[in-house]
Copies of this chain bind each other. A is one copy, B any other.
Amino acid sequence: MQNTHDDVGETAERGVCEAITRVFGLLGKRWNGLIIVTLLDGPARFSELVRLVPGLSERMLAERLGELAAAGLVARDVDGGPPVSVRYALTAQGEALRPALEALEHWGQEHLVSSSAAP
């Protein structure tokens, strides 16, 4: 029951750290990464997001936008109109993902797209 053994410390050190575990708790759920990447180009309406992310259903988008909003990455931006217009935008916290997502995209271009072109 004691938590002061050296073994425990070593395991924790090599084990996956809290920050990256939480990151993949978000980005390791289908659609979340692609929704954020799409919003990096600017705010978008719900119907635009459905169109811009191939395969994403309306039900799933609504669920994911709720999760991303709860995590503080996406905000609803309501223009009172008329007509009322609702768009979804990245918060500063979501926007801060840009360098990491650009690095992932760069890796994908180099290692997934080109490698799959070769036999």
Please report A residues at the B interface, Cβ cutoff 8 Å: 11, 14-24, 26-34, 37-38, 41, 51-54, 71-72, 93, 96-97, 99-101, 103-113, 115-116
Which residues of chain B come closer than 8 Å to A93, judged between CB atoms? Answer: 111, 115
Offer 19 A-B interface pairs, CB within 8 angstroms, sorted by A.
A14-B52, A16-B38, A19-B113, A21-B54, A22-B116, A23-B104, A23-B105, A23-B107, A23-B108, A24-B27, A24-B30, A24-B34, A28-B28, A28-B33, A28-B34, A71-B112, A93-B111, A96-B110, A100-B103
Instruction: Choose from B16, B29, B115 the contact partner of A30 (Cβ within 8 Å).
Output: B29
Contact A19 B108 (CB under 8 A): yes
Which residues of chain B come closer than 8 Å to A16, judged between CB atoms? Answer: 34, 37-38, 52-54
Nearest-neighbor residue (CB-CB) of A35 within chain B: B16
Nearest-neighbor residue (CB-CB) of A53 within chain B: B16
Which residues of chain B come closer than 8 Å to A23, judged between CB atoms? Answer: 33, 104-105, 107-108, 112
Contact B41 A14 (CB under 8 A): yes
Interface SS of chain A: helix
Contact B22 A108 (CB under 8 A): yes
Instruction: Choose from B52, B104, B110, B111 the contact partner of A27 (Cβ within 8 Å).
Output: B104
